[in-house]
C-alpha cells in the first residue's frame, strides 16, 4: 500500500505542476466566467435598435402614421416619394438603418425591403401593421361590419410543449457535456499511456519495478492522473455553480445561460462527476495496457487507435441515436453497455428520462466491469512493462 501511495502522490504532483495543466485549468475557470458574462458582452457590441432610423416610402392610398409606427422598433419617417438611390446612400453613410418602399402591384401590395442586415422581428411587426391598415381600408370601402373582420382575423394560438421535462436548450447543454467528457477521457487516458511508455523507453521502469510492483504502479498512475483531471472538471463545474448562485451576472430571461443554470443543478453536477470518473477508469485501464505494450512513445498513436475508434464510435452512437431519442430502445440498451453507459445515462439524467433504479443498475454494471477488467489488466500489465520491446496483443496474452 505504501508503494502505491508513493506512485499515486508522485504522479499527481507531477501532473498538476506542469505548465499545460495550469494553463488549461485557468482557461476552464475563465471559460466558466465568460459563459455567464457572454450575454452582457454580446449586448455591449450590439447597437440599440431603438435608436435606429427607418424610412417608409408610401406609394399607395393607405393612410400610414408615424405615431402608429412607434410600436415598431426604431424611429420612423413616412414619405410619399423618395429616390431609391439617394436612400441607399443614406444607409451607406449610416444615416438610415434601412428603408422600405410600399407600392401597388395590380390587386396586390408589395413591400420592397432595403436593409444591410435583416431584422425579422421588425419585418414581422411592420408587415402586420401594413396588413391591418389594408384590411381596415377594405372594410371601410365595402362597409363590412368590424366584428366580422375581427372574427376572420382572429389568430391561431400556438404553444410549444416540450417532449421531456427539461429546457429546450438542454440539447446544447448535453452536447457540451458529452464533448467535455469525450475530450477529457481521451486526453487523460492518453496521458496515462504516454507516461508509461516514456518511463519504459527511458529504462526508468526497470528501476521502478525493483521498488514497486507493476500492478500498484499501474493503478497509482491511473488514479494520480485521474484525480488531476477530476480536479480540473470540478473547478469548471464548481465555477459554473458558483457564478449561478452568487448572482453577480445579469442573465436575460430565456437565454442559453439561464438554461444552463436551470439544468445543471447540484444533483446533476454530482452525476456528471460520478460518470466522468467511471468513464475515465473504463478507458484509462485500456490506455495503461497499451502504454505497456509499446517500447517508444512514438508508437503510441498507432497502438491507441483501436481505443480511440471505440471511444469515437461510442460518441457517434450518442450523437446520432441517443440524443434525439432519450427514451428509445437503443438508448436503454446503451445505458447498460460499459463503453457507452457513462454518456447515455448522463443524457437521460439531463432529459429526466431515467428512473433512479436504472441509474443504480447501470452504475453496478459499470463498477463490476471495472473490477473484472482491472483483474485482467493486473495479469496483462506486468508482462508488458517487463518486456523492453513492443508487443502485439497476441504476444501479450501468450507471453510467459
Task: For residues 216 and 192, give the distance between their C-alpha atoms in angstroms, rounded to a whole number.
Answer: 14
**What is the model's pLDDT at position 400?**
45
On whether residue 224 sits in a domain, the answer given is yes
102-157 confidence digits (pLDDT tens): 888 767 788 888 988 877 878 888 888 888 888 788 777 777 777 776 776 677 77
**What is the model's pLDDT at position 334?**
92
Q: What residues contact 194, with CB distance under 8 A and at least 6 apart?
A: 291, 297, 300
Q: C-alpha cell of 10?
A: 508522485
For residue 181, name the pLDDT band (cuts at 50, 70, 90): confident
Could you tell me if 310 and 189 lie in one domain? yes
**Structural domains of the chain, count:** 2
CATH number of domain containing 147: 3.40.190
**What is the model's pLDDT at position 285?**
81
20-33 confidence digits (pLDDT tens): 788 888 888 888 78
Q: Which domain holds residue 138?
A: 49-152
Mean pLDDT rounded to a whole number for the chain: 77
**What is the model's pLDDT at position 381?**
67
On whether residue 26 sits in a domain, the answer given is yes
270-314 confidence digits (pLDDT tens): 888 888 888 888 888 888 777 777 767 777 778 788 888 988 898
Last residue of a domain, one of 152, 174, 195: 152
**What is the model's pLDDT at position 117?**
80
On whether residue 160 sits in a domain, the answer given is no
Task: For residues 291 and 308, give the distance between their C-alpha atoms in angstroms, rounded to a whole number.
Answer: 14
Buried b (16+ CB within 10 A) or exposed e, 279-303: bbbbbbbbbbbbbbbbeebeebeeb
On whether residue 158 sits in a domain, the answer given is no
211-217 average pLDDT score: 69
Task: For residues 58 and 64, give the distance between their C-alpha atoms in angstroms, rounded to a whole number.
Answer: 8
Could you tell me if 237 and 299 lie in one domain? yes
Report CA-CA distances (Å) from 290 to 184, 295, 369, 387: 18, 10, 18, 13
On whether residue 159 sits in a domain, the answer given is no
On whether residue 84 sits in a domain, the answer given is yes
Could you tell me if 284 and 348 lie in one domain? yes
Taking the CA atoms of 131, 132, 135 and 141 in sequence, report the sign of the dihedral they define. negative
Could you tell me if 139 and 171 lie in one domain? no
| Residue 399 predicted with pLDDT over 60 | no
Amino acid at each position: 500500500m505504501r508503494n502505491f501511495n508513493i506512485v499515486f502522490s508522485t504522479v499527481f504532483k507531477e501532473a498538476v505542476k506542469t505548465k499545460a495543466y495550469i494553463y488549461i485549468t485557468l482557461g476552464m475557470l475563465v471559460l466558466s466566467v465568460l459563459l455567464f458574462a457572454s450575454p452582457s458582452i454580446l449586448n455591449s457590441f450590439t447597437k440599440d435598435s431603438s435608436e435606429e432610423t427607418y424610412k417608409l416610402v408610401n406609394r399607395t392610398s393607405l393612410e400610414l402614421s408615424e405615431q402608429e409606427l412607434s410600436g415598431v422598433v426604431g424611429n420612423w419617417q413616412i414619405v410619399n416619394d423618395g429616390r431609391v438611390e439617394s436612400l441607399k446612400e443614406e444607409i451607406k453613410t449610416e444615416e438610415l438603418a434601412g428603408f422600405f418602399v410600399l407600392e401597388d402591384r395590380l390587386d396586390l401590395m408589395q413591400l420592397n425591403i432595403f436593409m444591410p442586415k435583416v431584422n425579422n422581428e421588425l419585418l414581422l411587426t411592420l408587415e402586420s401593421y401594413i396588413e391591418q391598415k389594408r384590411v381596415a381600408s377594405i372594410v371601410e370601402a365595402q362597409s363590412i361590419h368590424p366584428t366580422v373582420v375581427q372574427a376572420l382575423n382572429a389568430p391561431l394560438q400556438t404553444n410549444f410543449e416540450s417532449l421531456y421535462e427539461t429546457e429546450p436548450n438542454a440539447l446544447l447543454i448535453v452536447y457540451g457535456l458529452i464533448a467535455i467528457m469525450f475530450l477529457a477521457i481521451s486526453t487523460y487516458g492518453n496521458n496515462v499511456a504516454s507516461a508509461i511508455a516514456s518511463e519504459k523507453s527511458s529504462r526508468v521502469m526497470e528501476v521502478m519495478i525493483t521498488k514497486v510492483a507493476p500492478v500498484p504502479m499501474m493503478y497509482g498512475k491511473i488514479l494520480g492522473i485521474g484525480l488531476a483531471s477530476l480536479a480540473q472538471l470540478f473547478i469548471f463545474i464548481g465555477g459554473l455553480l458558483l457564478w449561478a448562485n452568487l448572482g453577480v451576472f445579469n442573465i436575460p430571461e430565456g437565454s442559453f445561460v439561464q438554461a444552463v443554470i436551470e439544468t445543471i443543478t447540484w444533483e446533476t453536477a454530482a452525476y456528471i462527476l460520478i460518470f466522468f470518473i467511471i468513464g475515465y477508469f473504463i478507458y484509462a485501464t485500456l490506455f495503461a495496457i497499451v502504454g505497456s505494450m509499446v517500447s517508444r512513445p512514438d508508437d503510441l498513436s498507432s497502438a491507441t487507435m483501436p481505443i480511440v475508434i471505440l471511444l469515437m464510435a461510442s460518441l457517434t452512437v450518442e450523437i446520432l441515436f441517443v440524443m434525439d431519442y432519450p427514451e428509445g430502445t437503443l438508448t436503454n440498451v446503451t445505458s447498460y453497455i460499459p463503453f457507452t453507459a457513462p454518456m447515455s445515462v448522463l443524457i437521460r439524467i439531463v432529459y429526466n428520462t431515467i428512473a433512479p433504479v436504472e441509474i443504480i443498475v447501470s452504475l453496478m454494471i459499470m463498477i463490476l466491469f471495472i473490477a473484472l477488467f482491472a483483474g485482467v489488466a493486473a495479469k496483462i500489465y506486468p508482462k508488458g512493462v517487463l518486456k523492453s520491446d513492443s508487443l502485439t496483443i497476441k504476444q501479450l496474452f501468450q507471453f510467459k
